[in-house]
Structure 1
Amino acid sequence: MAIGPVQLIVLGFEHPNFHGEIIAELERLRSSDTVRVIDALAVHKDAEGEIEVAHLSNLSKDEAIELGTEIGALIGLGIEGETGMATGAEAGAQAAADGTTVFSDEDAWDVIEEIPNDSAAALVLIEHHWAVPLRDAVARAGGFRISDGFISPLDLVEIGLHSREEAEELHALATNRQPA
């Protein structure tokens, strides 16, 4: 089975108001074979920076722990509290001992540090199924990925894809900021 590109998306919430909409949308994307949610965690960080983790995806607990160990190896966090973090750290250490480097020190991303105190975040590890045929076609043509990233709607105004007003509204939605 071809595995598509995998992406970790971290979404912040100042005052979470979950009603199942996010999971429903991820389910819709999965059912259309657009993406597969490998794992999803909700992280609450209290005012002192202490974290509490809850599992969000529709995987079984055993699957979540197994895949959560993979996330733990990536970011040092698991769904089983300190035990999960230790398991994740062990998985990362074993990968390093086996010669596998997930992130260099320059590339390391401290996801948990970026979550503001007294807020919550959803960490969603997704596989992009839609990208498999494109990736394979690029590889057959001798191509390779150099870089990737999301482009801010504000950057799309100059090339005419959004009006300034549309871009400011979309940017405000994506960053939880008021439009200018």
Structure 2
Amino acid sequence: MAIGPVQLLVLGFKHPNFHGEIIAELERLKKSDTVRVIDALAVYKTPEGELEAEHLSNLTPEEAVEIGSKIGALIGLGFEGEEGAEAGFEKGGELAAEDGVRVFDQQEWDVLAEIPNDTAAALLLIEHHWAVPLRDAIFRAGGFRLADGFISPLDLVGIGLIAAEEAKELHDLETAGKAG
């Protein structure tokens, strides 16, 4: 079975107000075979910058330790303090190296540094099932990914895709937690 393109989403929450909507939407996407959540972490950064993390899954604590956190391996975050963080990052790098893959390092994207103090974050490692046939068709045609990224709603105004008012509303929603 081919794995679809995988994306790490880091979502910030100044004052989380969860009512199950996010989980319900992820379940809907899973049922429609659009995405699969490979791993999920909840992280809280204290006002002093200390991290508290909780693995979000239906695994027992023993299974979670045995399997480990895929996100932790990617970003160097472990569940046994600093030693666990180093072990998680090293294990992820070792597994990737065995397959000839170079994972990104802290200089490329320091995910944890981007989480503001006194803020909660959800880190979701998502597989995009919908993209497998497209990716495979591109590969068969001799193509390959050069880059990717989300486009800001403000940039969509310049190409006439949405109105300035709508773009500002979307931009404000997307970045509400970043300001002070």
Contact 2:75 2:105 in 1 (8 A): no
Report the counterpart of residue 111 of structure 2 in structure 1.
111
Contact 2:68/2:88 (CA < 8 Å) preserved in 1?
Answer: no
Alignment-derived partner of residue 25 in structure 1: 25
TM-score normalised to the size of structure 2? 0.86
Q: 1:177 Cα deviation (Å)?
A: 6.5
Q: 2:12, 2:177 within 8 Å by CA — same for their partners in 1?
A: no
Alignment of 1:58-69 (within 5 A): 58=58, 61=61, 64-65=64-65, 66=67, 68=69
**CA distance 1:175–1:2, change in 2 (3 Å):** same
In the superposition, the TM-score normalised over structure 1's length comes to 0.86
1:167 partnered with 2:174: no
Report the equivalent of 2:56.
56
Q: Which amino acid aligns with 2:11?
A: L
Amino acid at match of 2:76: G
User: How far 1:7 moved relative to its partner?
Assistant: 0.5
Q: Give the equivalent residue in structure 2 for 1:40.
A: 40
Structure 2 matches for 1:1-180, cutoff 5 A? 1-58=1-58, 61=61, 64-65=64-65, 66=67, 68=69, 70-78=70-78, 80-82=79-81, 84-92=84-92, 94-95=94-95, 98=98, 100-103=101-104, 108-176=108-176
Misfit runs of 4+, over 6 Å: none
1:37-82 Cα offsets, whole Å, 9 max, x none, are: 00111100001111111122445555644251x322210113x342
The secondary structure found in structure 2 opposite 1:130 is: helix
Q: The residue matched to 1:94 in structure 2 has which SS?
A: helix
Supply the AA of the counterpart residue of 1:3: I
> C-alpha displacement at 1:96, in angstroms?
7.2
Structure 1 unaligned residues grouped into runs of 5+:
none
Instruction: Count residues in correspondence.
Output: 175
Question: What CA RMSD, in Å, does the superposition of the two structures yield over aligned residues?
Answer: 2.3
Q: Identity across aligned pairs (percent)?
A: 69
